[in-house]
């Protein structure tokens, strides 16, 4: 393990004395890449919300239709007056 550490330290170059790590920036290309990733994430979020909302509306409509059908079937099977018989 110590020999591996010695090899890594021997291969690692010494930093340039004029190099300031605080002035290193990703530049314009880095800004564009980060901006595009953020925009894609935002658009995917809007698409996700739209799809979830659509699915929720479909489930609500299906439940309403099933309730209306059950109500209609219940009305048809119960007699309206004491003399009526169910069909």
State pLDDT tens for residues 21-39.
787 888 899 999 999 999 9
pTM tops 0.95? no
State pLDDT tens for residues 30-87.
999 999 999 999 999 999 999 999 999 999 999 999 999 999 988 887 766 665 555 5
Q: 80 by DSSP, 3-state: which?
A: coil
- Using the CB atoms, write b or e for 16-49: b if 16+ within 10 Å: eeeeeeeeeeeeeeeeeeeeeeeeeeeeeeeeee
* Angstrom distance (rounded) from CA 55 to CA 70: 22
Give the CA dihedral 72, 78, 84, 87, nearest 10 degrees. 70
* Angstrom distance (rounded) from CA 29 to CA 35: 10
């Amino acid at each position: 393990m110590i020999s591996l550490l010695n090899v890594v330290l021997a291969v690692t170059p010494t930093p340039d004395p004029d190099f300031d790590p605080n002035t290193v920036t990703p530049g314009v290309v880095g800004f564009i890449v980060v901006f595009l990733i953020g925009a894609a994430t935002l658009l995917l979020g809007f698409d996700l919300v739209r799809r979830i909302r659509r699915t929720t509306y479909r489930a609500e409509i299906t439940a309403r239709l099933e309730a209306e059908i059950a109500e209609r079937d219940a009305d048809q099977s119960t007699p309206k007056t004491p003399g009526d018989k169910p069909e």
